[in-house]
A = this chain, B = another copy of it.
């Protein structure tokens, strides 16, 4: 990182004038251990269903999770088009899709949908271990494949509810303050979701201490994965991961800021400043993938610009 920062100081521009683009190049230098890093990006989208969907906390029926996983695989989901535009690979994961993932090219964790967190723990101890191990395996396989940046996304009807509960447990904030509209709930729906979240926190508050217990109690299948943060759900996963492995923190990048209240609280909790603020509230890894375009610009300048000496340009008169 020091070498990359020194290079930035020599490039033919006023020091610091490329702002966040300079920071992003230096961040990737640190992540990869290379003064002039390359971006080989993979987007991992984990899909899972959630028993809490039965409480009417989403504007969409549960069947949509499996349908969207198939759409991603067809290349015509939002994240598929974004990954194509930024030159990133797309890997899909069935982390507990209710309808299954027959015929879809994806990694299968072999676990089913989570249980209704407003009534009982969402996951078993075995499911948590399986999901976390699968996340580690996916990250290790990406590293072995020469991937330098992993972006995490998710799909799952009702999954802002567990992610909001996770945010409340991990940050200590009142869950009622963190509930948002998700994919587009009306006021009555938001009130219902708030009541469900409050009931869940009451049920699990004492038992949900620590990131893994929180994940088991109020999380979901796709929360075992995470590395580069997308919106609320992927950032909740990253907060769990950073709770287990504090050394992960400097390797995290916040792709964007979502309008979900719990997302802002999690970004503050992790000390992350998002790259983009475009009002995205889709999930799927769309914000993380869009941010890869900015990371690519950071590297284009970091690698392609001349130094003052190379260009024969006069320096500052100070």
Contact = CB atoms under 8 A, between A and B. Distances in A.
A297 B290 contact: yes
User: Residue among A84, A184, A312 with the most chain B CB within 10 A?
Assistant: A184
B13 A282 contact: yes
Contacts of A314: 60-61, 63-64, 67
A187 to B, nearest CB: 12
B311 A71 contact: yes
Contacts of A306: 71, 74, 76-77
Contacts of A20: 278-280
Given A15-B184, A19-B278, A21-B278, A297 B71 contact: no
A314 B290 CA distance: 26
Contact of A17 (B11, B74, B281): B281
Contact of A300 (B84, B281, B297, B313): B84
A70 B277 CA distance: 35
A290 B280 contact: no
A276 interface: yes
Interface string A1-43: 0000000000111111111110000000000000000000000
A156 to B, nearest CB: 14
B184 A16 contact: yes
A259 to B, nearest CB: 8
A18 to B, nearest CB: 6
A183 interface: yes
Interface in A277-298: 277-282, 286, 290, 293-294, 296-297
Contacts of A80: 304
A64 B313 contact: yes
A147 interface: no
Contacts of A316: 59-60, 183-184
Contacts of A16: 184, 281
Given A184-B316, A305-B81, A313-B71, A21 B60 contact: no
A130 interface: no
A18 B286 contact: yes
Nearest to A317: B61
A85 B297 contact: yes
A14 B312 CA distance: 52
* 8 tightest Cβ-Cβ pairs between the two chains A and B: A19-B279, A81-B304, A76-B306, A85-B300, A20-B278, A14-B183, A17-B282, A67-B313
30 contacts: A12-B71, A12-B77, A13-B78, A14-B60, A14-B183, A16-B281, A17-B183, A18-B78, A18-B280, A18-B286, A21-B280, A59-B317, A59-B318, A63-B314, A64-B314, A67-B312, A70-B311, A71-B306, A71-B313, A75-B304, A76-B305, A77-B311, A78-B301, A81-B300, A82-B297, A82-B301, A84-B300, A85-B296, A184-B318, A290-B294
Interface of A: 11-21, 59-61, 63-64, 67-68, 70-71, 74-78, 80-82, 84-86, 183-184, 186, 275-282, 286, 290, 293-294, 296-297, 300-301, 303-306, 310-318
